[in-house]
Amino acid sequence: MTAPANYSAGHSAALDFSQPEPVDLSSGKYVKIWQGPQHPGITGNMSLELTLDGDTIIECKTHVGYLHRAFEKLMEGRNYIQNFTVVCRIAVPEPAFNEYLYAAGLEELSGIEAPERAQWIRTLNLEMMRLASFMMWIGGQSGAFGLYTVPNWTIAYRDYVLDLFEEMTGARIYHMYMVPGGVRFDLPKGFDERVNEVMDGADKLLDQIERVMFNNVVFKARSKGLGVIPREMIEPYGIVGPNARACGVERDLRKDEPYLVYDQLDFDIVTATDSDAYARAYVRLQETRQSISLIRQIMQRMPRTGPLQAEMPNVLHWKIPPGETYVKAECTRGEYGYFMVTDGTEYIRRVCVRGPSYTHAISVMEKMARGTNIADIAGLMVSLHTYPPEIER
Amino acid sequence: MGNLTNALLDRLQRDFEITEITQRNPRLTTFKVDKEHAETLVRELRDRESYTHLNFITCIDYIEDGIFTLVYMLQNYDLNCMLGVHVDIGRDNAEMTSMHTLWGQVWTYQRELREMYGINFPGSPRLEEDFCLEGWDDIPPMRREFDTAAYSTEHFGHGERSTEEPRQYMKVQFYPNRGGDEK
C-alpha cells in the first residue's frame, strides 16, 4: 500500500463548494423560470428553479418533494415482511434493487443465507431490471434532444422485458419477488426460450439505436461537450455509476465488491474518457449490451435444481437481533444502498436508502447547469440519470 | 479486517479516543467519536487515509436515551471497505458541526436532517430552505415521537368528504384577496 495522497491537494479546484451569489432580479436583466415539476423534459417529478441571463443559466436550484411518501418513516412502523410492499416503490423504474437490498440487509442482520439457485435468479432479475431501465433511459435521452423515434422503440421494447417480469414474478413493475431467504417461486416452464427471444430482439434494436441515435448529427452536436464532469469532481461530489465511468473512473460494485453471483460472470467495466453527455450515453448503451450478455450467461450457467428459499422463522413475528449494516449494489445509476439498524424487535429501527440521484440531481446538477444554454437543460438533466423518489424517500 | 485498518483504528483510538469499535461485516467497521472530534476525524480520514467517498449521512433517533446518533459512512476505494463514524448528540436543541466544506453533497444531507430531525448545522449553506416539505409547521417528522397516523387524521380527516368546483376553487386559492376575481 502506497502512502495515501493528500486529497485536498489533488482536488483543490473541485473543493470549491460555495453557492453562487444571488442576483438582483429587480434589475430586469435576469429571468427566473421553472423547469418542472410537470414537464416532458424532466426525469420524474422534480423541478429546477433556473435564473437566466439571456439564454444562459446562471443559477440552478433543484426542488424535490413532489413524490415524498415518507417511505423510511413508514418502514419504522411496519414489520419486516410488510415493508416489501413499500421498498419496491422507492425507485419506480428499478424496484428490484430495492427488493434485493432490503432482503440482503435483513439476511445479513439475521444470519440467513439465500440458497445458490435463488442467488442466480436474483442476479437474473436485477440484470433484466437494468435492461428495462436502460431502455427507458435511452428513450428519455434521445427524446430530450428531439429524436422522437427512438423513445417509441425503446419504451415499446421495455414492455417485452416487463412481459418477462410478469411471467417470472406475477407483476410487471412492483414484483415483490426477492424476499428474505430467497425468491418467491421458480422460473416458469419455457422461460428460457422466451428470454432468448427477447434478448435477440434487444440486440438488434440496440444496433439500430446505435445507428439512428449515436450516429445522428443532431444528437452528436447537442450532446458532445455538454455537461462535462471533470475528473476532480468525482469523489468530492460523490459521483458514481456511468456518470463516473464516462470520465474514465473504472469502478463498478459488481466487480469491486462482488455480490450475488457476479464473480462467476464474465464482463468488463465499461468506461469512456470525454465525460460529456455523449460519453455517458455511450457508456449506458454498452452497459445495456453487457446486461444482455449477462442475462444469457446466467441462463446458461444457473443451476436448475435446488432450493429457492432458506429456512425462515415465522415472518409475521420475526425479531432480528440488534445490529447495523450497509448493503449496496450497482444499479443503472451507480451505488444504491440500504443502511439498516435493528434493535431486537419486530420492527426496523432505522432504514436509510442511499440513491445515486441524491447527489447527481442536486449538488452535481446545480453545478453543471451553471453556464448551460436553456435549450440543453433537459438533455443535461436526463444525461445525469436521476430518479427523484430515491432522493425524497 | 486488514492489518492496515487495525493499525488505523489503533491510531484513531489514540488520537481521537474513538469507542465502540464494531466490525459489522468484512467490509464495514463502525465506531463512535465525540462531537468535538468528529469533523477533524472525518477530514483526516478523507485527506490522509483515502476514505474519499462519502456514501451518505444519516441519523438514528434513540428517543429512549435522549440522543440522535449521526452516521457518516465513508468509503475507501483502494481497500473497498467502509467506516461508519457515529456521533451522538443530544435530542434537545440538537446541533452538530457542519461538514459542508468536505464534500459537495454534505449541505444537502444537512438540510434534510434539519428538516426531518430538527438538527441545526450552523454555517451550512441554504439550511433554512425547505427540502421535501413545503411550509411544514409541525415537529420534524422523522423524530420518533411524530405520529404519522395522528397527523393524517388531524389534517386530512377521515370523516365526510366534500368537493368543490375545481376552477372556482383554484381561483379563490390564487386570488384570495379578490374573492377569486382573476381580473
pLDDT at A11: 62
Please indicate, yes or no, whether residues B99 and B178 belong to a single structural domain of this protein. Answer: no
- B138 to chain A, any CB pair closer than 8 A? The answer is no
Partner-chain contact A238 B103, CB within 8 Å: yes
| B50 within some domain | yes
List the domain range (segments joined by +) for residue A163. 71-392
| A56 within some domain | no
B15-35 as b/e, with b when 16 or more CB fall inside 10 Å? ebebeebeebeebbbbbbbee
Please, which residues bridge with residue B19 across strands?
Answer: B32
Partner-chain contact A19 B125, CB within 8 Å: yes
Please indicate, yes or no, whether residues B22 and B56 belong to a single structural domain of this protein. Answer: yes
DSSP string, A25-83: GGGSS-EEEEE-SS-TTSSSS-EEEEEEETTEEEEEEEE--TT---HHHHHHTSBTTTT
pLDDT tens, chain A, 393 aa long: 344 456 666 666 566 777 777 888 888 889 999 887 876 656 668 889 999 999 999 999 999 988 888 999 999 999 999 998 899 888 888 899 999 999 999 999 999 999 999 999 999 999 999 999 999 999 989 988 888 899 999 999 999 999 999 999 998 989 889 999 999 999 999 999 999 999 999 999 999 999 999 999 999 999 999 999 999 999 999 999 999 999 999 999 999 999 999 999 999 999 999 999 999 999 999 999 999 999 999 999 999 999 999 999 888 889 999 999 999 999 999 999 999 999 999 999 999 999 999 999 999 999 999 999 999 998 999 999 988 888 888
List the domain range (segments joined by +) for residue B170. 147-183
**A6 → chain B, closest CA residue:** B47
- Residue from the list A1, A19, A256 with its beta carbon closest to the beta carbon of B126: A19
- Separation of alpha carbons A252 and A233, rounded Å: 18
Q: How many domains does chain B have?
A: 2
pLDDT at B153: 85
Mean pLDDT over B14-26 rounds to: 90
pLDDT at A14: 60
Residue A71 zone, left/alpha/beta (φ > 0; ψ -120 to 50; rest): alpha
Please indicate, yes or no, whether residues B40 and B123 belong to a single structural domain of this protein. Answer: yes
Partner-chain contact A235 B105, CB within 8 Å: no
Partner-chain contact A73 B148, CB within 8 Å: yes
Please indicate, yes or no, whether residues B108 and B34 belong to a single structural domain of this protein. Answer: yes
pLDDT at A165: 94
Chain B CB contacts of A352 below 8 Å: 56, 58, 71
* Cell matching residue A39: 414537464
- B128 to chain A, any CB pair closer than 8 A? The answer is no
Partner-chain contact A339 B58, CB within 8 Å: yes
Please indicate, yes or no, whether residues B172 and B122 belong to a single structural domain of this protein. Answer: no
**Please, are residues A356 and A365 in contact by the beta-carbon 8 Å criterion?**
no
Partner-chain contact A17 B53, CB within 8 Å: no
Kindly state the DSSP code that residue B94 receives in the 8-state scheme: -
What strands, in cross-sheet order, belong to the sheet with A31-35?
A: A31-35, A47-53, A56-63
| A48 within some domain | no
At B78-93, the pLDDT tens digits run: 999 999 999 999 999 9
- Residue from the list B4, B24, B56 with its beta carbon closest to the beta carbon of A354: B56
| B14 within some domain | yes
HSE-up of residue A392 (Cα within 13 Å, Cβ side): 23
| A331 within some domain | yes
Hey, of B3, B24, B29, B55, which one would you mutate to test binding to chain A, going by the most A CBs within 10 A of its CB? Answer: B55
| B158 within some domain | yes
| B141 within some domain | no
pLDDT at A354: 93
Beta carbon pairs, A and B, within 8 Å: 114
Please, is B77 exposed, middle or buried when counting C-beta atoms within 10 Å of its C-beta (0-12, 13-18, 19+)? middle
pLDDT at A17: 77
B149 CB neighbour count, 10 Å cutoff: 8
HSE-up of residue A112 (Cα within 13 Å, Cβ side): 24
| B136 within some domain | no
Helix axes B3-16, B35-48, angle to 10 degrees: 140
Partner-chain contact A358 B126, CB within 8 Å: no
Please indicate, yes or no, whether residues B125 and B153 belong to a single structural domain of this protein. Answer: no
Partner-chain contact A352 B77, CB within 8 Å: no
State how far residue B137 is from chain A, nearest Cα, in angstroms. 16
What CATH number does residue B36 fall under? 3.30.460.80
| B138 within some domain | no
State how far residue B164 is from chain A, nearest Cα, in angstroms. 23
Partner-chain contact B132 A350, CB within 8 Å: no
Partner-chain contact A324 B24, CB within 8 Å: yes
If we measure between CA atoms, which residue out of A77, A81, A47 comes closest to residue A386? A47
Hey, of B42, B53, B68, B124, which one would you mutate to test binding to chain A, going by the most A CBs within 10 A of its CB? Answer: B53
Dump strand ranges (E) for A161-306: 178-179, 182-183
Strands B81-90 and B28-32: parallel
Q: How many domains does chain A have?
A: 1
pLDDT at A1: 39
| A54 within some domain | no
- Residue from the list A1, A73, A337 with its beta carbon closest to the beta carbon of B55: A337
**What ipTM is given for this predicted complex?**
0.91
- Note the pTM of the prediction, 2 decimals: 0.90
| B137 within some domain | no
Which residues in chain B (66-85) have CB-CB distances under 8 A to chain A? 71, 73, 77-78, 80, 82, 84
If we measure between CA atoms, which residue out of A245, A226, A214 comes closest to residue A369? A226
Peptide bond into A37 cis (omega under 30): yes
Partner-chain contact A65 B47, CB within 8 Å: no
State how far residue A47 is from chain B, nearest Cα, in angstroms. 12
What CATH number does residue A332 fall under? 1.10.645.10
Mean pLDDT over B21-29 rounds to: 91
Chain A CB contacts of B125 below 8 Å: 17-19
- Residue from the list A7, A341, A354 with its beta carbon closest to the beta carbon of B55: A354
Please indicate, yes or no, whether residues B91 and B15 belong to a single structural domain of this protein. Answer: yes
Please indicate, yes or no, whether residues B159 and B108 belong to a single structural domain of this protein. Answer: no
Please indicate, yes or no, whether residues B43 and B86 belong to a single structural domain of this protein. Answer: yes
- Residue from the list A68, A235, A362 with its beta carbon closest to the beta carbon of B53: A235
If we measure between CA atoms, which residue out of B130, B126, B114 comes closest to residue A65? B130
At B95-135, the pLDDT tens digits run: 999 999 999 999 999 999 999 999 999 999 989 888 988 88
| A3 within some domain | no
Please indicate, yes or no, whether residues B151 and B72 belong to a single structural domain of this protein. Answer: no
Please indicate, yes or no, whether residues B158 and B90 belong to a single structural domain of this protein. Answer: no
Partner-chain contact A326 B52, CB within 8 Å: no
Helix (H), strand (E) counts: chain A: 15, 8
Backbone angles phi, psi at A250, to 5 degrees: -90, 80
Partner-chain contact B104 A5, CB within 8 Å: no
| A365 within some domain | yes
Hey, of A345, A352, A354, A393, which one would you mutate to test binding to chain B, going by the most B CBs within 10 A of its CB? Answer: A352
| A84 within some domain | yes
- Comparing A387 with B178, which gets the higher pLDDT? A387
Partner-chain contact B132 A339, CB within 8 Å: no
Kindly state the DSSP code that residue A361 receives in the 8-state scheme: I
Instruction: Provide the residue type at A152 as one letter.
Output: N
**Please, are residues A351 and A339 in contact by the beta-carbon 8 Å criterion?**
yes
Which residues in chain B (152-171) have CB-CB distances under 8 A to chain A? none
Partner-chain contact A341 B60, CB within 8 Å: yes
- Which whole-number Å values give the CA distances from A120 to A13, A94, A188, A259, A306, in the listed order? 44, 18, 15, 11, 11
